[in-house]
Amino acid sequence: MITHKLDFEPEVHDQDFIYVHTSLPTYLFVFQLNRLLGLSLFRNKEDISLSSAHHRFAVYEYQCDVMQQVWRVIENHFNTTKAESENSLFTLSEQRFCLFPELEQTDLLICVNGLSDAVLKKITTIRRVISCYRLPKKLNNIKEQLTF
């Protein structure tokens, strides 16, 4: 699989990262975001995959030439079920893997240039969005690690 490096330079391109905690599945969150903000986010054919594991994280993208913005919504978690041994109380157990373990409570990352506070407030109005904040400066290293 081809791996691309997303080249984010926040000082030059004014890239904002938002982390979202929601109970919505990713595709439904993207649908709601499209409807709310008039975007046309679509799923990229190339998912982000970790070289150490077989987990894949979906990427949704939209480029608005009029507003000169590029939107990306990136999954931060992957849930899977695993069969347990016959001595276990439950036959299946759920496992959760994160793209960025330091953001364990984050379900989605949104990357967009020139994000206003008004748009951030609109995102928080989506039903079943628990929290939505800008990425703190101390976690800027995530921007360099992001590949798809």
pLDDT in tens, the chain (148 residues): 444 455 544 443 467 899 999 999 999 999 999 999 999 999 999 888 776 667 789 999 999 888 888 999 999 988 877 777 777 777 777 888 888 888 999 999 999 988 889 999 999 999 999 999 998 878 877 776 764 3
Q: Is residue 112 within 8 Å of 69, Cβ to Cβ?
A: yes
Sign of CA dihedral 35, 39, 43, 48: negative
Return the domain boundaries, the chain: 15-82+90-136
Sign of CA dihedral 95, 28, 17, 74: positive
pTM: 0.80
Q: Which of 75, 124, 130, 112 is nearest to 97 (CA)?
A: 75
**Fold (CATH) for 15-82+90-136:** TATA-Binding Protein (3.30.310)
**If DSSP codes are grouped into helix, strand and coil, which group holds residue 78?**
strand
**If DSSP codes are grouped into helix, strand and coil, which group holds residue 96?**
strand
Spell out the alpha helix ranges (H) of the chain: 10-13, 26-37, 117-124, 141-145
Q: Find residue 94's DSSP bridge partners.
A: 81
| Integer Cα distance of 101 and 95 in angstroms | 14
